[in-house]
Amino acid sequence: MADAVLSTHGITKRFGAVTASEDVSLELRPGEIHAVIGPNGAGKSTLIAQICGGLRPDAGRVELLGRDVTGLATPERARLGLGRTFQVSALAMEDTVLQNALLGALGASGRVWRFLGAALGDRALRAQAEEALGRVGLAEHAAMRVSELGHGQRRLLEVAIALTLQPKAFVMDEPMAGLGADGSKRMTAFLDGLRAEAPILLVEHDMDAVFALADRISVLVYGRVIATGTVAEIRASAAVREAYLGEEA
């Protein structure tokens, strides 16, 4: 469909005998949360890596805003408007929370080749970073080192950094992982509002969150999309129950 913000077309990726992605075609439309679910090892993170640029698909292509980005490196895709969060937090652990958020604003601004002025003294970047921290509720931890943050706060910082990029599409790998019931609930409410800013491709194991948030769900099993549909359709699908939900629910 022409108006998809982000789409994959027949993506295939093999690691030796393991097929991590097989002919995966997905699209992320404006304003939606598109959840990708599937059992451990189904290929969700591998799919994200191919969308965001860490891995090159063996076949197929990725389009962002109608542009083929399959050949572009991760930083280029980020600058075109992909805001990604990692399943395992990837943060500058020795730096402060504010410095991490500032890094996002700096990357997005592209004004990194400055060698003398203080990064924290750049008012515009700092305002952007502080706003993002405020939105996820990390404002009062701005001066803390990331290594001193709790696990849940690190997840929030991941999201805050993505916010500073003001992306055209969010790609989130298990943002709820390890948040606990309360944290999950708050993150769910936050993502619910976020979709109006940019659509979210959401990989998530937390089924309550997925059913509460998703406009559409794709089910990935052994690297293949076995079904895509609304929450009701996925819940009703016999194939999905058998392949996946049946094991859990």
Ligand X SMILES: Nc1ncnc2c1ncn2[C@@H]1O[C@H](COP(=O)(O)OP(=O)(O)OP(=O)(O)O)[C@@H](O)[C@H]1O
Candidate residues 7, 22, 32, 43; the one interacting with ligand X per rule CB under 6 A? 43
CA angle 101, 205, 145 (to 5 degrees): 25
Q: What are phi and psi of 168, to 5 degrees?
A: -85, -25
The least distance separating ligand X from the CB of residue 63, rounded to whole angstroms, comes to 21
- Residue 20 binds which of other proteins, ligand X, Mg ion, none (CB < 5-8 A, kind-dependent): ligand X
Q: What are the start-end ranges of the E strands in 31-102?
A: 33-37, 59-64, 67-68, 82-85
The least distance separating ligand X from the CB of residue 37, rounded to whole angstroms, comes to 9
The least distance separating Mg ion from the CB of residue 209, rounded to whole angstroms, comes to 16
Is 45 an interacting residue with respect to Mg ion (CB under 5 A)? yes
d(CA 249, CA 245): 6
Residue partners of 237: CB distance under 8 A and separation at least 6: 219, 227, 229
The mark string for 162-201 relative to other proteins (x by CB under 8 A, - otherwise) is --xx------------------------------------
Closest-by-Cβ residue to Mg ion is: 45
CA angle 83, 85, 88 (to 5 degrees): 160
d(CA 189, CA 70): 33
In the complex with Mg ion, the residue whose CB is nearer, 44 or 84, is 44
Is 15 an interacting residue with respect to ligand X (CB under 6 A)? yes
Is 46 an interacting residue with respect to ligand X (CB under 6 A)? yes
In the complex with ligand X, the residue whose CB is nearer, 46 or 99, is 46
In the complex with other proteins, the residue whose CB is nearer, 56 or 111, is 111
Residue partners of 27: CB distance under 8 A and separation at least 6: 1, 4, 6, 7, 8, 34
